[in-house]
Amino acid sequence: MTINFLETRADASMNEKPAEALEQAIREKTALVGVIGLGYVGLPLINAFVSAGFRTLGFDVDQKKVDALTARQSYIKHIESDTVGKWIDDKQFEATSDLSRLAEADCLLICVPTPLSDSRDPDLTYVESTSSAISRVMRPGQLVVLESTTYPTTTSEVVLPILEQSDLVEGKDFFLAYSPEREDPGNPDYSAAGIPKVVGGSSKISSQLAEQLYNHAIVQVIPVSSPEIAEACKILENTYRAVNIALVNELKILFDRMGIDIWEVVDAAKTKPFGFQAFYPGPGLGGHCIPIDPFYLTWLARKQGLTTRFIELAGEVNSRMPEYVVSRLAEFLNDQAKPIKGSKICLLGMAYKKDVDDPRESPSFELMELLLQRGAEVTYSDPHIPQLGSMRHYDVPNLTSSELTSEFIAAQDCMLIATNHTAFDFGHIVEHAQMVLDTRNATRDVEQGREKIRKA
């Protein structure tokens, strides 16, 4: 049954200012928290606010997600279906695709995708359409917080003008802030509630209200002076990782040629107790943030008439890693007098990182496309992704995860490790495989059959 929270929430006094009414609702936890985008960021955020005692209303334009949640079914590994069912039983959560209900929420947290266009420019379509939907129904006393990763000035120059089409005034009638998501899927040590939250408001009162809201649900809130500082903070965090991963990826190519194991080099270097942080190479970057954020920054620099050569070079290095992996595969197959064309290649892992069910921007899709273009017979195995779905930039074949039986493994010309899931028995895989191409150092502890293993 649909609950209209506008009708069930006690109206503020006609003489009470919007900021005062909202502050009281947040303080007393009677504020309804609306989360727009029920994916890998939105659902954990709902969990954090429900756990803090707030009622929540989840919005998504994907009716399948809404239907699944309404049926008490989670589609994200680290949010269990029983958890969703408890939210509903406790009347703390409802999912809807009806964007006219945005007016019911006192606080609206925007967690929609911010992908790149085909020309690698920021695509703010989802942010803009969400902001427009809010502005059409916005009422005095609402707080809007953008959490989607984006470039500095997005909140002030994109979101704010759209919200102002409502004829309401920011800082007086409604309140706007930016607080970047910091999700780390698959990391059991850090839930949404346990990761410090940076918050920057468009006005002083907006900052204060957003800080007060998050203080209820998040372990620590770090207020900054503006949305631009918060936006730039997120870009810095992810560009830092992208640049350092590019460094070890480039060193991997060099050290491979010299017969030096890059993983052993990094493990040795990280014994230094200061001045070094370990980053590891791989088949390419994955996830929503790290492969994308540096390109936001280079796009923004071009608008300012500048070039970010260091960051662009890192992007080039990371982007070419799938090509490098395929070239190494070609070399190793050639040693066995086999071409890629017609060879049976099984990709181990389609998720972008270990032990998650998140395929966003996974380099495995680039590997699959490159192998198919070269005529390989490609299969995959991933216990977390039983069937491949559509991906924004790839023509994904209709495949289901293959069971790793001894017979199946032996029938492949190569088992290509793209993601080192704990569920994979790498000893079993190496034992029965003709050849294993390891891009993650997943076979480091396998002792038998090492002559079959190649690294890339």
Rounded to 10°, the helix 227-258/293-303 angle is 120
User: Is beta strand 197-201 parallel, antiparallel or unpaired with respect to 174-178?
Assistant: antiparallel
Q: 381 with 314: CB under 8 angstroms?
A: no
Type and span of the H or E element at 188: none
Which residue's structure tokens are 């190479």?
281
Judge residue 154's burial from the number of C-beta atoms within 10 Å of its C-beta, 0-12 exposed, 13-18 middle, 19 or more buried. Answer: buried
Type and span of the H or E element at 371: helix 363-373
Residues 133 and 147: their CA atoms lie apart, in Å, by: 16
For 184-247, the DSSP string reads -TT-TT--GGGS-EEEEESSHHHHHHHHHHHHHHSS-EEEES-HHHHHHHHHHHHHHHHHHHHH
CA 344 to chain centre: 31
Question: Minimal CA–CA distance to 76: which of 133, 37, 115?
Answer: 37
Q: Is 89 helix (H, G, I), strand (E, B) or coil?
A: helix
Catalytic residue among 107, 289, 346, 414: 289
For 123-169, the DSSP string reads --HHHHHHHHHHHHH--TTEEEEE-S---TTHIIIIIHHHHGGGS--
Q: What are phi and psi of 91, to 5 degrees?
A: 55, 40
Residues 382 and 385: their CA atoms lie apart, in Å, by: 5
Is 289 designated active site?
Answer: yes
Question: Minimal CA–CA distance to 367: which of 385, 382, 380?
Answer: 380
Strand partners, 223: 199
CA 160 to chain centre: 24
Active-site residues, by number, are 289
